[in-house]
Chains A and B, each alone.
Chain A
Amino acid sequence: MANMQDFLVTRSTKASQIAIVMWVLIIVALISMPLAVNRGDMRFIIEIAYYLTLAQMWNLLAGYAGLVSVGQQAFVGLGGYLMISGAVYFGIHPLVAIPIAGILIGVISIPTAYVVFRLRGAYFAIGTWVVAEVFRLSFAQIQSLGGGSGMSLPASIVKGMADGRQAREMLIYYTAIFILLGSMTLVYTLLRSKYGLALTAIRDSEPASDSLGINIFKTKMIIYVVAAVVTGIVGGLIFLQKLRISPDAAFSLPDWTVAVIFIVVIGGIGTIEGPIIGTIIYFMLRELLADYGAIYMIVLGIFAVVTMLWAPKGVWGVISKRFNLQLFPVHRRLISDTEAKK
């Protein structure tokens, strides 16, 4: 057996080094995209960007912190409503209102966490759902925000955002890309930080990590708040693009949580790559089955159930096991000294 000093701890793999080059190319492509594609395609990319961001956040919660939430639509809806309120009632530029909404949601999510953290496991899931319903029903009662039927972002505010429609759409596009890349970087950095290690320890064994002095509550709280803030920011962006909000659309379980859970589960929960694969599969299936409505949801549902039962690590899990791939090197691996010198 080799001695301890014969091993090195490393996170990078050959594939991850190639991947860096690939990421750079993708980022350049995303930034130059508006030059090449039409408005419809741009909207499509924006949609992909915010679903991928939502998926990364849900994956951070459920896949890494074990907080399986079915109530993230609470923060999407809050983000939308706070952005519109800020723009309409306080005259804040919508793009400025979005980060402000994010901060407010961070504050709101803390007491929320104290309530839902009293529930464990699956009960936590349903608890978060109840909280989201409370927000939906409460916003339906606020008459100044249009009550149950909702409200639109006034044309004057929309026009005031930028010079002309094209400029406005570019602005939203780059905001979406910025949020996507920012959130991916955030998740990546978080998982490589000491919180990433703490999360892995908690996932392996809560009692053991507790005895090692890891503050489980604090770690989970940080993840919960981070996910709430980013999810809320995405919510602000979504309704800035839609220009219209209502309680049912803002706090929609199917749109903002069901779809996202399917994306993560099918792609591969507990990896950064999984949500990316899942998003690609989700949009491909949607394009294929767009005309079939309910059938599309049935297919997705069956796909998710089958994945969970027979390939619980998702499509990415199957791929990475087959080819031993890791595109985001967040796992620490032990390699022998001789291997490292090669």
Chain B
Amino acid sequence: MNLIKTTDLVAYYDDFQALYGIDFELNAKEVVAVIGSNGAGKSTFLRSLVGLIQNENQQIQYKSEPIGACSADEIVKLGIAMVPEGRRLFPSLSVEENLIIGNYSKRLGKWNLKKIYELFPVLADKKSNPGTALSGGQQQMVAIGRALMSNPEVLLCDEISLGLAPTTIKDIYAALPDIQADGTAVLIVEQDINQALSVSDRFYCFQEGRASLTGKPGDVSREEIKSAYFGL
């Protein structure tokens, strides 16, 4: 069963068209990667899914219900959460407050403060610090924890490895199996192709606002991906 399905999704910033008819599916338990270069429309796509950009209602469906025109605060209540690019922790909230506010929607499920601290033990010691006083990797953990606190059925991750050291990236991706354990679908947006393909079941490659290639990482050659990525 598909959780998220977009049909001919278009998106605009004022007069500028950023997405040209994206057809996309994300099924339960799947990890799907969206790759593409800077400006390919990946972030616009995520912002559309979470309602930060309003779209035609029918163009995005969640569990077969149209949600394209829903606002961001409604969408999180339906079970879609996002880890935003650049982490964007609330600077005037402590680590723990950042996590608590993640459950503002009051959705029930397996995630709570205790479970997040088990997933990322390093955060437990820093729970009273302001979120912005942490290292980049730890901030990323808070951002992921904050999104998980809403007990999402779909987790969207925007460039979570950006600006982090390779070992830190490994630590963060190590949490993926736990996140998926009870069927949560994960959508990963990355510029780093290798990272994204190594963890995903399927992928979409975006180029200039269009999905230029889709498939399973094993079925597609490097050459095809390269050409879809750079538009050669």
Report if A and B touch in the complex (beta carbons < 8 A): no
